[in-house]
Amino acid sequence: MKFLRICNARKIWSCVKHKGDLMAFSTNKSLLSKISVGDEIGWEEFYRNYAPLIWLRGGDLNLSTGEKQDLIQDVMLTMFTSAGKFKYDREKGRFRDYMRTIIDRRGVDIMRRRDKAIRIGEDIGGIKDVLVSPGQDDRWISEWRDHILNQALVELKSALEPITYQIFELYALKGWEPARVERFLKVRKSSIYTAKCRAVDKLGEIVRKLESEQ
């Protein structure tokens, strides 16, 4: 599943703020519980949800296309082998930080394999520079936020009537002018604004539900 790389989607993000904060960096607790006991469907869902995020992080680490594919597999293998021991405790830290640590460690392993002259335990020099370069934290937070928004929008699509979501997608996400949406979908202009408001309200409801599951 591809990440939404649309400027207007970021505006929608700000529309569902509540209690003065942006959407929390949330992860479905029930999904984490499933993978902790080796549930096959849970693993498929986890892969589908997180593979795009791992791919983006691989780009931040300057990995090649093939290396980013390896990174996804290595991270999933790490999660799988530690699943039986993994117990998500929010009080011990955010899952996004835990996930970033695993991705970065597997990324370092890949970079070490790329340059066999770098020995384990030796100052990793250029690799370390990549991990601590300016903007890394901001990029990761932005990518995680996009990841959460994408998941919320998937749930929103199944929660709304098809025409309501289609109006919302064209007008709010893709930035079409109301007149263009009106012609394309053969709907009244007033219904366009109504659909957007309904969708944004529902999106906020979904976010609050996700947060309550943590």
Mean pLDDT, 10 residues at a time, the chain of 214 residues:
44 49 46 65 80 91 92 89 63 76 91 68 54 71 79 89 95 93 95 94 80 52
Q: pLDDT value at position 18? A: 41
| Alpha helix segments (H runs only) across the chain | 7-15, 29-36, 40-60, 65-81, 95-114, 126-132, 136-159, 162-168, 178-185, 189-212
Query: What SS3 state is found at 161?
Result: coil
Structure letter (DSSP) for residue 170: I
Q: In whole angstroms, give the CA distance from residue 212 to residue 43.
A: 22
What pLDDT is recorded for position 5? 39
Q: What local confidence, expressed as pLDDT, does residue 31 receive?
A: 67
Q: Please tell me the total number of residues recorded for the chain in this structure.
A: 214
* Res 7: pLDDT: 45
Q: How far apart are CA 30 and CA 213, in angstroms?
A: 8
